Amino acid sequence: MQIPVQGFMYPNEVELQWSVLIVLYPFITGLVAGAFILASLERVFRVEAVKPTYRLALLTALSFLLVAPLPLQLHLGHPERSLEMYLTPHRSSAMAMFGFVYLWYLMAVLLLEIWLDYRCDIVVKSKTEKGLPRLIYKILTLGSDVLTERSLRIDERLGYFITLIGIPSAFLLHGYVGFIFGSVKANRWWSSPLMPIVFIFSAMVSGIAAVMLLYMLSSRLRRQQIDIRCLDKIAQDLMYTFIIDFSLEMLDLLQRIYEADESFRSLDFMVHTRLWTSQVIVQILLGTLTPIALLGLTQLFSFTDSVRKRIYALAGCLTVIGIFAMRWNVVIGGQLFSKSFLGYTSYKMGFATREGLLTAIILMILPFIILWILVKILPPWTDAESISASEEIPVHAAS
């Protein structure tokens, strides 16, 4: 297969080595970090309004975190060896750090926090359920059914402490992903000290948007009324985070334009040609400015609940698409131009190949299947919550 090349490329640049799967990796870890940070808001900063999404956000983070290393393992090939990235973590390279970062976040933060939060429910279900579910819950109790007031208080304190550790850990997880790109000094499209920070904020944006959409979707599927106060608060947080994220990206852009170093003309040409659709149209116009404008409208004008819900749903979808486009533009864009700044290559994505579109689609569906199973085992809501949600008085109009 001949890859269309324009101008001069070094031979090892013609074919892209990091495929759509490497686009998925930061996208998925971003959703994990963002969903966790939203959950932490409720716990650490006592934002009561977002409470209905607390558990859903934790389960979303877990289901995406379980899938996060799969694109890397598929990309590496050699299933018999790729497991070693967990077993031989090392400080000598940012990529070899993966084992530390991943295992810490999964084992020491997310699983612990979920277990402590659900322990009471697990113990109760281990006594009330029957058959296989009972066995699952029995195993999850670890053989202890203590539910004294004091034990629950200890769980609460410990959970709070883990969330406190979890916030910097979530920042570390996604900051680390940004650092991998930002620290490649040979690549001017990536090399920027702002990269980890931009990645963290974009992670928060995508995670908050994803949990908001999942909350709306799950409420609809359960035929329960959406807690509009909660939705308003999430949308507000989404807008503020998005504005910070966009400002940081623009700051990076302005810095590059003003600096105008030897790479600038080449990168500028690339943005105006090969990345025009994915960066300018999809990422900036559709995926950033439109959702910020939509969310801004809901802050400036009073709309009815149903109109606000529709606006939030549209803004959420556009946000997730925009952040995916951002990951695409970083990963793929960074490989489209020559290090000589004299040529450009193209990315040809396969379909039913190990790193093709079909694999990417399956990897994106997988977290939702895991989430569905997790929600079945550990329901993030109670019936009482739904009833109280429908009785809430919308406070948005007053603000």
Partner 1 sequence: MRRAIPAPKVKLLFKDIEHLLRLAAVMLIAVVAFVVLRAAVVPKSFGQYGHYRGDAIAEVAARPVAHAGHEVCEGCHTDVVDQKKLGRHAGLHCEVCHGPQARHADDPASIKPPLPDTGVICARCHEANSAKPRSFPQVASADHSGGLACNTCHQPHRPKIQDQAKPATGAKR
Comparison of 13 and 249: residue with beta carbon closer to partner 1:
13
To partner 1, the closest distance from the beta carbon of 112 in angstroms equals 8
Comparison of 146 and 373: residue with beta carbon closer to partner 1:
146
Comparison of 142 and 314: residue with beta carbon closer to partner 1:
142
Of the candidate residues 45, 127, 154, 281, the single one contacting partner 1 (CB under 8 A):
154
Which of 203, 231, 212 is closest to 56 using CA atoms? 212
To partner 1, the closest distance from the beta carbon of 141 in angstroms equals 8
Residues contacting 122, CB < 8 A, separation 6+: 115, 137, 140, 141, 378
Token pair in block for residue 246: 């966009």
Comparison of 144 and 306: residue with beta carbon closer to partner 1:
144
Does residue number 306 form part of the binding site for partner 1 (CB under 8 A)? no
Q: Considering only residues 54 through 83, tell me which ones interact with partner 1, judged by CB under 8 A.
A: 83
Stretch binding partner 1 (CB under 8 A), from 47-55, 88-96, 278-286, 355-363: 88-96
Q: Dihedral sign, CA of 201, 206, 207, 209? A: positive
Does residue number 96 form part of the binding site for partner 1 (CB under 8 A)? yes
Question: Are the C-beta atoms of 127 and 146 separated by less than 8 Å?
Answer: no
Q: Considering only residues 270 through 299, tell me which ones interact with partner 1, judged by CB under 8 A.
A: none
To partner 1, the closest distance from the beta carbon of 165 in angstroms equals 15
Q: How far is CA 398 from the centre of its chain?
A: 32
Of the candidate residues 45, 48, 77, 90, the single one contacting partner 1 (CB under 8 A):
90
CA distance 310 to 253: 32
Residues contacting 254, CB < 8 A, separation 6+: none
To partner 1, the closest distance from the beta carbon of 18 in angstroms equals 19
Comparison of 149 and 261: residue with beta carbon closer to partner 1:
149
Q: Considering only residues 112 through 151, tell me which ones interact with partner 1, judged by CB under 8 A.
A: 112, 115, 119, 141-144, 146, 148, 150-151
Beta bridge partners of 344: 6, 337
Measured from the Cβ of residue 342, the count of other Cβ atoms closer than 10 Å reads 13
Does residue number 186 form part of the binding site for partner 1 (CB under 8 A)? no
To partner 1, the closest distance from the beta carbon of 149 in angstroms equals 9
Helix (H) or strand (E) holding 344: strand 343-344
Of the candidate residues 17, 88, 306, 399, the single one contacting partner 1 (CB under 8 A):
88
Which of 31, 104, 102 is closest to 72 using CA atoms? 102
How many positions of this chain bind partner 1 (CB under 8 A)? Answer: 32
Comparison of 106 and 205: residue with beta carbon closer to partner 1:
106
To partner 1, the closest distance from the beta carbon of 98 in angstroms equals 13
Burial of 321 (0-12, 13-18, 19+ CB in 10 A): middle
Residue environment code for 145-168, b if the CB has 16+ CB neighbours within 10 A, otherwise e: eeeeeeeeeebeeebeebbeebbe
Which of 375, 318, 319 is closest to 207 using CA atoms? 319
Comparison of 206 and 338: residue with beta carbon closer to partner 1:
338
Token pair in block for residue 367: 């977290």
Comparison of 256 and 339: residue with beta carbon closer to partner 1:
339
Question: Are the C-beta atoms of 175 and 204 separated by less than 8 Å?
Answer: no
Does residue number 92 form part of the binding site for partner 1 (CB under 8 A)? yes
Does residue number 13 form part of the binding site for partner 1 (CB under 8 A)? yes
Does residue number 14 form part of the binding site for partner 1 (CB under 8 A)? yes
Comparison of 145 and 383: residue with beta carbon closer to partner 1:
145
Comparison of 66 and 238: residue with beta carbon closer to partner 1:
66
For residue 226, give Cα distances in angstroms to 31, 200, 308: 22, 28, 12
Question: Are the C-beta atoms of 354 and 73 separated by less than 8 Å?
Answer: no
Chain contacts with partner 1 (rule: CB under 8 A)? 5-11, 13-14, 83-84, 87-88, 90, 92-93, 96, 107, 112, 115, 119, 141-144, 146, 148, 150-151, 154, 158, 343
